[in-house]
A and B are shown apart, each in its own frame.
Chain A
Amino acid sequence: MKVNHQTAEKTEAMPVSFLLNGETVQLNISPVMRAVDVIRNELNQTGTKISCGIGRCGACSILLNGKLAVSCLILAYQLEDASVVTIEGLSDGKQMHPIQEAFLEEGGFQCGYCTPGMIMAAKCLLDSNPKPDQADIQKAFSGNLCRCTGYGGIVRAIQCASSK
């Protein structure tokens, strides 16, 4: 594949409806559109990032029906009837989620571009396993790349969040 973006096709827009961070979203979208593009461009929720576009880096990670998913490999129409949680849906607007606080206090990020994806992966891990060990943490973050921290700060953030 030369470029990520599908070349223009004469496709008819189709309706899609899903829950984004608890709110119902109804859109008419091209069936070739990626979920990440709809979230970022149509819905202007730019906390979800795009980096490799092939599902290797995890920057676009979201929770899809409670499970971790890379939104660059999901087409937007596949979100039909689903519940999507992005980084913007993690805090209630007033109070940060304890995982976000842990990343802040332990230096779990630098440039911050992988961070939303990392935090979604952390949420997914800690929801199912509140006391992860080293192997659990390594497994949970094996789909998320960070170029800044060397993962030290991220590991400390998870350990901090799981001890709270």
Chain B
Amino acid sequence: MKKNIRPDGKAKVTGKMKYLTDLSFPHMLYGKILRSPYPHARILSISTDEAQRLPGVQAVITHKDVPALNGFGIVTPDQPVLCKDIVRYVGDAVAAVAADSIEIAARALELIGIQYEPLPVLDCPEKALEETAPLLHPDGNVLHRAGFQKGDIEKEFSQCAKIVEETYQVPRQLHAYMETEGGVIVPEKNGSLTVYVGTQHGFKDQFQLARILGMPAERIRIVSSPMGGSFGGKDELNIQPYGALLALKTGKPVKIHQTRQESMRSSIKRHPMKITMKTGIDREGRLRAHQTRIVADTGAYATLGPAILDFAVEHAAGPYMIQAVDTKGISVFTNNGVSGEFRGFGGNQVTFALEGQIDRLAEAIGMDGIAVRRLNIRSKQDPGPLGQRIVETDGALDVLESAAAVYAEKKRLPLKQDTWKRTGVGMAVTMHGGGLGFGRLDPAGGRLSFKEDGKIEIAFGFEEAGQGILAVIEAITAGQLGCAKEDISIIIGDTSLVPSSGSTTASRGTSMVWHSLQRLKKPFLQKLLARAARKTGIEEKRLSVGPGGIQVNGEYKLSFQELAAGEEPIVVAAQFDFPVSPDPIDSAHFLYTYSGVVAQVEADLLTGRIRVTGLHQTTAAGPVVNEMGYIGQIEGGGVMALGYTLMEDVTMTEGHYAVENFDSYLIPGIVDVPFNLQVRAIESLPAEDHYGPRGVGEIGTVAVAPAIASAIYDAVGLRVSRLPVKPEALLQSIERSVLYES
């Protein structure tokens, strides 16, 4: 069978694909951004004279050069574009330079003189929450509180046979997209601005830049695709404001492409969280009471910190039906790097804790972990984790049974005969909401046109970051209309050409493309076939769309080019919102996907090193649109989560990054991952389901850490509560247990 080749594939494997950081323009300047050397300080003075005098320097900008709002942030614009009096983390920008070369720009940064008065550094949420702590923002150091209560928690705890309380700590993770932030910002002759910089929501960048530059949004064009990876990390603005200000000031195109070190310092990361869970189970194995306390370190600025905490609170009880739930979370401003949007969006953190609790509780009452899960897992009609009605599927039980079968099979494998090696198998399950949730602006839409040249053009305001949205658009459009892939041209990632489709985040792209086509298909085909009837004189009901053109009773009749000849284009557009629950519960999700993961590990008792030798992921997310893309998302997500579990931690010391590149921050290489990754898709949906394929951009990352943790316990008896699991942790635990026993 011919594999489904991605539309952007050939350009990528031949090196011909022009990423936005590959672009260059005549008379282009190079920009660099000067960031704070202190995690918290008062700016006493800024002197740019010497830098400005350096030959080749075309512009130096500071806060004085920001024409309108000196702030950005998708929801709350609390991060200064260029700091005026206070810096709150080492990524804060204070000045920027455009010069004839990167080297001159770099030299100019060294010539900018800034006097700082260092201020006390709040390097953890605990310090930031002390009463005497300096306030990092006018409303204090608490960014957001969220909670959920259900049932009588104390009464239910009193009915429990066993209660387990544990605090889980999860690290700050780097997105580590291979293409660092960058692109070119071009001032056009008519005074408008074209911004060739990757982002996950072009219209949102346009909105944010308009209020910074004091320019009408329609005079800012955002070209946002393709990207060399994003994973949530390029959702917020990064270098765009600096490039835009410098381009406007110099009247020349300005290119900024951050080095990896610059990227590490300024980019958002995954939220470190401290999660305390106290969970009770009764003698029969029913979960009765589940209390969760979450402390999230959002760092210096908000970005989507509040929404991420809401998501973590929502998913704290996961796919389990528990009598009483009491969840409280707080996200806190500190002088650490900014935490924000990252694949999984707070779900990964709480799922690690929750599944750890289930394993511990099962052991405490002497039951099998899978049996406990089976007893408590949601069924089709059960309400969602915030009590809201959700789209009904059997996904939760399906992935559990699939994982259970794989688990049983892996457990039957003979143990490795090696004095210094131990092997183990573990599993975990989860559910993950798609879309932004109830009460959040979550618009979607698309446009379908039949062009003068006979091409069927489909346009969405989405971006291609590698996830495969182009292949999804192509497959769904061709599938729904009945035409060939070659008949279609796809437009994305350019605000001057696309309709508003909402953000390319929250696993919503695939869903929204399918939903758009459901709305566009009928009116489009009606117009197309009406024209075909007029042109051929054949009754409309005998006509249909086929590969290459119009068919009569399945016989090829008229090519699309012939159908288009001499005619006006046909244009059909749809605007709608991501579906939400009928129950008005703020931030609650409606469309969930499910995952069951089995991990196999091998622990080296001499080095403490843990190797994941097998990773088997089952996903229930409706029909698979593009098999290669689906497998790639789940495998790639799984390996990213493997890194989160065993390797990755953007450590900070007193507000300074202790890692700066891939020599001190290691992401999984080919030798760190199982050679044969296993992916299984459960595609079935209830007959009455009309929500189509769900996006799988995030789900593959969510339940991998707890499955590996569970396998580590199986191998060496270490209960993991802190990620990443370092060799030291394993060695210490071995000293306490395994070696003495043998």
Q: Which residues of A contact B (CB under 8 A)?
A: 1-8, 40-41, 44-54, 56-57, 59, 86-88, 90-91, 96, 100-101, 103-116, 119, 134, 137-138, 141-142, 144-155
CA distance A38 to B676 in the complex (A): 38
Q: Is the CB of B106 within 8 A of A154?
A: no
A-B contact pairs, 28 of them (CB 8 A): A4-B261, A7-B103, A7-B107, A8-B101, A41-B24, A45-B15, A47-B15, A49-B19, A51-B178, A51-B260, A52-B663, A53-B661, A56-B663, A59-B178, A90-B15, A91-B14, A100-B13, A104-B5, A107-B629, A109-B466, A112-B13, A115-B15, A138-B670, A146-B178, A147-B175, A147-B177, A150-B635, A150-B639
Whether B735 sits at the interface, judged by CB under 8 Å, is: no
Choice from A3, A103, A111 contacting B229 with Cβ under 8 Å = A111
Residue among A2, A50, A91, A113 with max Cβ neighbours from chain B (10 Å): A113
Residues of B within 8 A of A142 (CB): 669-671
Complex contact A151–B465 (CB within 8 A) = no
Question: What residues of A have a CB within 8 angstroms of the CB of B18 in the complex?
Answer: 46
Contacts of B227 in A (CB 8 A): 111
User: What's the nearest-Cβ distance from chain B to residue A89, in Å?
Assistant: 9
Chain B residues positioned under 8 Å from A5 (CB to CB) = 102-103, 106, 259
- Residue in B104, B179, B638 whose Cβ sees the most chain A Cβ within 10 Å: B179
B467 touches A52 (CB 8 A): no
B17 is contacted by which of A91, A103, A112 (Cβ under 8 Å)? A112
Closest to B108 in A: A8
A124 CB to nearest B CB, Å: 14
Complex-state Cα separation, A1 to B465, whole angstroms? 30
Q: Collect the chain A residues with CB atoms within 8 Å of residue B103's CB.
A: 5-8
Q: Which residue of B lies closest to A50 (CB)?
A: B257
Taking CB atoms, residues of chain A closer than 8 Å to B14 are 47, 87-88, 90-91, 96, 100
Instruction: Tell me whether B3 and A149 are in contact (CB under 8 A).
Output: no
Taking a contact as CB atoms under 8 Å apart, the answer to whether A148 and B466 are in contact is yes
Q: Is B567 an interface residue (CB 8 A)?
A: no
Mark interface residues in B84-107 (1 if CB within 8 Å of A CB, else 0).
Answer: 000000000000000001111011
Interface centre among A7, A115, A134, A147 (most CB of B within 10 A): A147
Q: Across the interface, do A148 and B632 meet the contact criterion of CB distance under 8 Å?
A: yes
Whole-angstrom CA separation of A140 from B18 in the bound complex:
27
A107 pairs with B671, CB closer than 8 A: no
Output the nearest chain A residue to B636 by Cβ-Cβ distance.
Answer: A150
Task: Select the residue from A88, A110, A113 with max chain B CB neighbours within 10 A.
Answer: A110
A residues within 8 A CB of B101?
A: 8
Question: B661 → chain A, closest Cβ, in Å?
Answer: 6
Contact B178 A152 (CB under 8 A): no
Q: Give the distance in Å from the alpha carbon of A144 to the alpha carbon of B468 in the complex.
A: 22
Residues of B within 8 A of A146 (CB): 178
Q: Which residue of B lies closest to A117 (CB)?
A: B178
List residues of chain A with CB within 8 A of the CB of B670. 137-138, 141-142, 144, 151, 154-155
User: In the bound complex, do residue B179 and residue A111 qualify as a contact, i.e. CB atoms below 8 Å apart?
Assistant: yes
Is B667 interfacial (CB-CB < 8 Å)? yes
Contact residues of B between 438 and 472, Cβ < 8 Å to A: 465-468
Q: In whole Å, how far is B677's beta carbon from the nearest beta carbon of chain A?
A: 4
Question: Is A53 within 8 A of B229, CB to CB?
Answer: no
Q: Which residues of B contact A (CB under 8 A)?
A: 3, 5-6, 8-19, 22, 24, 56, 101-104, 106-107, 110, 175-180, 226-229, 231, 257, 259-262, 465-468, 628-629, 631-632, 635-640, 642, 661-663, 667-671, 673, 675-677
Which residues of chain A have C-beta atoms less than 8 A from B467's C-beta?
110
**A119 contacts B107, C-beta separation under 8 Å:** no
A7 to B177, CA, bound (A): 26
Closest to B9 in A: A104
Instruction: Judge whether A49 and B663 touch: CB under 8 Å.
Output: no
CB distance from B176 to the nearest CB of A (A): 5
The reply to whether B636 and A149 contact each other, CB–CB distance below 8 Å, is yes
A144 CB → nearest B CB, Å: 8
In the complex, the answer to whether B15 meets A104 with C-beta atoms within 8 Å is no
Contact A145 B177 (CB under 8 A): no
10 extra interchain contacts, Cβ-Cβ under 8 A, other than A51-B180, A57-B178, A106-B628?
A3-B106, A49-B19, A107-B632, A110-B468, A111-B227, A111-B465, A114-B178, A147-B175, A148-B178, A150-B635
Distance, CA A155 to CA B635, complexed state (A):
12
With A47-B14, A96-B13, A113-B19 in contact, do A150 and B260 touch (Cβ < 8 Å)?
no
Residues of B within 8 A of A50 (CB): 257
A78 to B106 CA separation, bound complex (whole angstroms): 24
Q: Of B6, B14, B102, B259, which is in contact with the most chain A CB atoms at under 10 Å from its CB?
A: B14
Find out whether the CB atom of A104 lies under 8 angstroms from the CB atom of B13. Answer: yes
A112 in contact with B228 (CB, 8 Å): yes
Residues of B within 8 A of A8 (CB): 56, 101, 103-104, 106-107
In the complex the two chains form, what is the Cα distance from A153 to B14 in whole Å? Answer: 17
Cβ contacts under 8 Å, A45 to chain B: 15
B3 near A106 (CB under 8 angstroms)?
yes
Bound CA–CA A59/B178 (angstroms)? 8
A5 CA / B180 CA spacing, docked (Å)? 15
Q: How far is the CB of A36 from chain B (nearest CB, A)?
A: 12
Residues of the A chain whose Cβ atoms lie less than 8 Å from the Cβ of B635: 149-150, 152-153
A111 & B228 in contact (Cβ 8 Å cutoff): yes
Known: A3-B262, A152-B677. A111 touches B628 (CB 8 A): no
Residues of A within 8 Å of B228, CB to CB, are 49, 51, 111-113
Distance in Å: Cβ of B470 to nearest Cβ of chain A: 11
**Contacts A4-B261, A7-B106, A111-B227 known; A86 to B15 CB distance under 8 Å?**
yes
When the two chains form the complex, which single residue of A4, A49, A86, A104 contacts B259, counting CB atoms closer than 8 Å?
A: A4
Asked if A145 and B3 sit within 8 Å, CB to CB, the answer is no
Please state if A88 and B662 are interface contacts (CB–CB under 8 Å). no
Q: A150–B5 contact, CB under 8 A?
A: no
Q: Roughly how many angstroms separate A90 CA and B16 CA in the complex, as a whole number?
A: 12
A117 to B510, CA, bound (A): 29
Is A49 a contact of B179 with CB atoms below 8 Å?
yes
Max count, chain B CB within 10 A of own CB: residue among A50, A105, A111, A145: A111
B636 touching A155, Cβ below 8 Å: no
Nearest B-chain residue to A100, judged by Cβ: B13
B179 with A119: CB separation less than 8 A: no
A100: B residues at CB distance < 8 A:
13-14
Chain B residue at minimal CB-CB distance from A33: B103
Complex contacts, A44 vs chain B, CB 8 Å: 24
With both beta carbons as reference points, the residue of chain B lying nearest to A112 in the complex is identified as B12
A155 in contact with B675 given A148-B632, A149-B636 (CB within 8 Å): yes
Report A-chain residues with C-beta under 8 Å of the C-beta of B639.
149-152
Closest to A86 in B: B15
Contact B15 A116 (CB under 8 A): yes
Inter-subunit contact B640/A87 (CB<8 Å):
no
Residues B260 and A147 in contact, CB atoms below 8 Å apart: no
Distance between Cα atoms of A119 and B676 in the complex (Å): 20
Let me know if B628 and A147 touch, CB within 8 A. Answer: no
Question: What is the CA–CA distance of A145 and B18 in the complex, to the nearest angstrom?
Answer: 20
B259, A113: Cβ atoms closer than 8 Å: no
Interchain CB contact under 8 A, B10 and A147: no
**Separation of A152 and B616 alpha carbons in the complex (Å):** 12
Question: Bound complex: CA of A51 vs CA of B180, how far in Å?
Answer: 7
- Cβ B661 vs Cβ A54 within 8 A: yes
Q: Which of B110, B636, B661 has the most CB of A within 10 A?
A: B636
Name which residue of chain A comes closest to B23, CB basis.
Answer: A46
Establish whether residues A138 and B177, one from each chain, have CB atoms under 8 Å apart when the complex forms: no
Contact A111 B466 (CB under 8 A): yes
On chain A, the residues within 8 Å of B667 by CB distance are 145, 147
Contact B671 A138 (CB under 8 A): yes
